[in-house]
Amino acid sequence: MSILVTGGAGYIGSHTVVQLLEAGELVVVVDNLSNSHQEVFNRIRTITSGELVFVEGDLRDAQLLDNIFKSYDIDSVIHFAGYKAVGESVSKPLMYYQNNILSTLTLLEVMQKHDCNKLVFSSSATVYGDPETVPITEQSPLSATNPYGQTKLMIENILKDMASADANWRIAVLRYFNPVGAHSSGLIGEDPNGIPNNLMPFVAKVAVGQLPQVNVFGDDYDTPDGTGVRDYIHVVDLAAGHLAALNKLKQQSGWQAYNLGTGKGYSVLDVINSFADISEREIPYQIAPRRAGDIATCYASVDYSKQALNWQAKADIKQIIKDHWNWQQQNPNGYKDAN
């Protein structure tokens, strides 16, 4: 029996594939490489052995998916594939609705056809919008402030409706907080196209000398130092959360959402200062205007995931930055260096 990983060539997917293989699972990845590089599979195979099949293709291609389900005995699916850039989703909403929603609908139809009913879905803390209180629990109110967030909320609701209509579905919705860091080998990590949108990869590129300085988006938030506070979770801990969720689906049917975070918040300045310490590089920064749509503080309550999934994040911010920096130093141009 195999596990199908959609978007398995991507940042979080690749780290999860490593752990699935290490756990002895047979893994089939489908990815159209729209935001990833085939080199990742050479790296994964350097880290670990095991049976890994890569099918290059688009999730919206029902025929392709049908063939995958016919060729491999797929027991469960981890669904990472989708577009994820908030700003781009505001300027190209149709592209986001088209890809994220249609991919998921196509996947669900083919799963249904082949009686495959276990699904782990990549949702996001973005579904909590601007939270009224922190830490954010799974019961906190949901809202979307941009098309990307809308796609996550819509998919969560589609999955909930599927589970209500058919009690055979077993669905874990994982709401990630801020995934950062890289595998301790430095062989796989996040490889954003162009200038990074997110803080940690941006800071890493300043540390390595590819960008001149960090723009700190606002220092007048209601936080201890005025800069935004987030819950940064090591991607390896996040990946482990997917194995815990798959395990849970063996025992429990229906739809359930889980926060995957650390429960701790760090400010933008905390991240810059820690990165400078650990990398022993100067990280120049300037205070810039707030970024549209940003919130002051976001961190998870992880009580429920701890108890229900028997999972918890282990790496602290220092370990996260150490591993992120190791990846950045070894691969200053990401996977492109491999060619």
Q: What whole-number distance in Å separates Cα of residue 169 and Cα of residue 330? A: 42
Closest approach of ligand WQD to the CB of residue 82, in Å? 9
Q: Does 327 bind ligand NAD (CB under 6 A)?
A: no
Q: Which of 11, 41, 169, 202 binds ligand NAD (CB under 6 A)?
A: 11
Residue 308, judged by CB atoms within 10 A of its CB (0-12, 13-18, 19+), counts as middle
Helix (H) or strand (E) holding 4: strand 2-6
Q: How many residues bind ligand NAD (CB under 6 A)?
A: 26
The residue number with the shortest CB distance to ligand WQD is: 228
Q: Does 217 bind ligand WQD (CB under 6 A)?
A: yes
- The residue count for the chain: 339
Q: Residue 4 carries which side chain, given as an amino acid letter?
A: L
Q: Pairing between strand 2-6 and 52-56?
A: unpaired
- Residue 60 engages ligand NAD in binding (rule: CB under 6 A): yes
Answer for which of 29, 199, 243, 302 binds ligand WQD (CB under 6 A) is 199
Q: Is 148 one of the annotated active-site residues of the chain?
A: yes
Nearest to 259, CA basis, from 178, 149, 174: 174
CB of 19 or CB of 223, closer to ligand WQD: 223
Q: Is 312 in the site for ligand WQD (CB under 6 A)?
A: no
Residues 6 or more apart whose Cβ sits within 8 Å of residue 300:
125, 135, 136, 175, 177, 231, 259, 260, 261, 262, 263
Q: Which of 83, 96, 148, 266 is catalytic?
A: 148
Q: Which of 5, 9, 21, 239 binds ligand NAD (CB under 6 A)?
A: 9
Query: Which residues, at least 6 apart from 292, have a Cβ–Cβ distance to it below 8 Å?
Result: none
Mode of pairing for the β-strands spanning 266-267 and 229-230: antiparallel
Contact of residue 215 among ligand NAD, ligand WQD, none (CB under 5-8 Å per partner type): ligand WQD
Site string for ligand WQD, 157-196 (x = CB under 6 A): ---------------------x------------------
Which residue minimizes CB distance to ligand NAD?
Answer: 10
**Can you read off the two tokens belonging to residue 209?**
């000398």
List residues binding ligand WQD (CB under 6 A). Answer: 84, 86, 124, 126, 178, 197-199, 202, 214-217, 228, 230, 268, 291, 294
